[in-house]
Structures are given as structure tokens and as C-alpha cells.
């Protein structure tokens, strides 16, 4: 096996293997299903949007995230703390029921007339960020990007492999959300409601953990 192919294969395998356990689209599936209701066509369109959003957000983090943070003088621990607060706030709204219910009702009522730009807006916030691609995922993508070769044929092989790996991760998100209803329909309405609340609680715990790890890393580096 040549060195270039090894670099390529490592990127193809390492990127989704690192990001997918953090993304964990199964956690977001019940929330996605609650947002889209019984409108299958809307679920397909939103799942496609979320998958594309995830790809471009992860690719941006992988390729330029480190440069952006360096330009603005923002550290990864600061990103973790701020993002963890955002994740926690979103999870708290979901746990308290009203925000998520209002969103679900507005999506269900306007599903047939909803414009593409409205679907794009709602599919990005909060479904893509921070519920699917959160600060932990972005920090991991930035870290992976910082470790890639800087020039030459190895850079080309690594970047090509990373793009394929990012596409695999985004495809996994799309398929999970696209088929969230068949996957979860056997739980029934009550079961989905319970699972949605458990997912929101888990997101809240993840948000607290992200804030905690960010603060701990900040303390270690000062």
C-alpha cells in the first residue's frame, strides 16, 4: 500500500469515525420527526436540507475553521463553552415543551405552502445547528483539519479522503432523519413523546458536559 493511498484511506475512515459518534443522529431523529409531523414530503425536503447543511458546516469547520478562530483570536475552549450554552438552552426549550410544540404546529400547518427559503431557515436552526452539528462536532472537525498535511500530493490525498468522509457523515444524517418515522413509528405517539423528552434531556446533559470540558481546557491552558 502506497503512502498516498494510506493517507487517503485514513482520512476516509477517520473523519466519519470521529464525527458520527459525536453527531449521533439517532438522538436528533425523534426531535426531527416531532418537527415535521406526519408530512412525509416535508420530512424528505428537510432531511435533504439538514444533510447538505451538515456537509457544508463540517467542511467549513474542517478546512477554514482553525483560520477563522485564529483570525478573531477565539480559542476552541471558548467555542466549546459558548456552544455548550447554546445546546443547553435549546434542550431546555425542548424539555419545557412549548417552543418545540409551537414549531411543530407551525411546520404542520404550513407544510404545503412553505417556501424553500423558509424550509432552509428552519432546517438550519435549530435542527442542523446546534442539535445535529454542535460545538463539540465543530471542534472535532477543526482538530481533524489542523492535523492534515499542509502541502503536496499528501495534502491532495488527505483533502480528497476528508471530503468523502464528510459526505459519508452527512449521508448518514440524511438517511437517519429521512427514515426517522419508519424507524420510530412502532413506538407509538406516547413512545415518541417520551423518546423526544429523553433526547432533549440527553442534549441538555451534553451541553453541560461541553461547557464543563471547555472550562476545564481553558483552565489548563491559562
Give the pLDDT confidence score for residue 1 in this predicted structure: 53
Mean pLDDT of the 71-94 span: 77
Note whether 83 and 134 are within 8 A (CB): yes
Average pLDDT of the residues in 75-98: 74
Residue 74 pLDDT level (bands cut at 50, 70, 90)? confident
Q: 153-192: per-residue pLDDT in tens?
A: 999 999 999 999 999 999 999 999 999 888 777 766 677 6
Structural domain range at position 189? 3-220
pLDDT tens, residue by residue, 22-56 = 888 887 888 888 778 777 888 899 999 999 999 99
**CA–CA separation, 89 and 1 (whole Å):** 48
**Alpha carbons within 13 A on the beta-carbon side of 149:** 18
Q: Residue 46 contacts by C-beta under 8 Å, 6 or more apart in sequence?
A: 32, 35, 36, 119, 122, 123, 127, 177
The answer to whether the beta carbons of residues 42 and 111 sit under 8 Å apart is yes
Alpha-carbon distance of 94 to 38, in angstroms, equals 19
Q: What letter does residue 112 receive in the DSSP assignment?
A: T
Structural domains of the chain, count: 1
Amino acid at each position: 500500500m502506497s503512502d498516498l493511498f494510506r493517507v487517503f484511506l485514513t482520512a476516509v475512515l477517520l473523519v466519519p469515525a470521529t464525527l458520527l459518534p459525536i453527531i449521533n443522529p439517532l438522538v436528533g431523529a425523534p426531535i426531527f420527526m416531532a418537527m415535521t409531523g406526519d408530512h412525509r414530503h416535508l420530512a424528505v425536503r428537510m432531511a435533504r436540507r439538514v444533510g447538505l447543511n451538515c456537509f457544508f458546516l463540517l467542511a467549513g469547520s474542517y478546512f477554514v475553521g482553525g483560520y477563522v478562530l485564529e483570525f478573531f483570536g477565539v480559542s476552541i475552549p471558548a467555542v466549546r463553552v459558548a456552544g455548550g450554552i447554546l445546546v443547553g438552552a435549546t434542550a431546555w426549550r425542548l424539555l419545557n415543551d412549548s417552543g418545540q410544540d409551537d414549531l411543530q404546529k407551525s411546520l404542520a400547518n404550513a407544510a404545503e405552502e412553505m417556501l424553500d427559503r423558509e424550509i432552509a431557515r428552519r432546517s438550519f436552526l435549530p435542527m442542523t445547528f446546534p442539535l445535529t452539528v454542535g460545538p463539540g462536532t465543530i471542534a472535532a472537525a477543526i482538530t481533524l483539519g489542523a492535523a492534515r498535511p499542509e502541502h503536496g500530493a499528501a495534502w491532495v490525498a488527505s483533502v480528497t479522503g476528508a471530503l468523502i468522509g464528510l459526505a459519508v457523515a452527512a449521508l448518514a444524517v440524511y438517511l437517519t432523519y429521512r427514515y426517522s418515522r419508519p424507524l420510530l413509528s412502532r413506538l407509538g405517539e406516547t413512545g415518541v413523546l417520551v423518546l423526544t423528552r429523553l433526547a432533549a434531556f440527553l442534549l441538555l446533559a451534553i451541553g453541560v458536559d461541553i461547557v464543563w470540558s471547555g472550562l476545564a481546557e481553558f483552565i489548563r491552558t491559562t
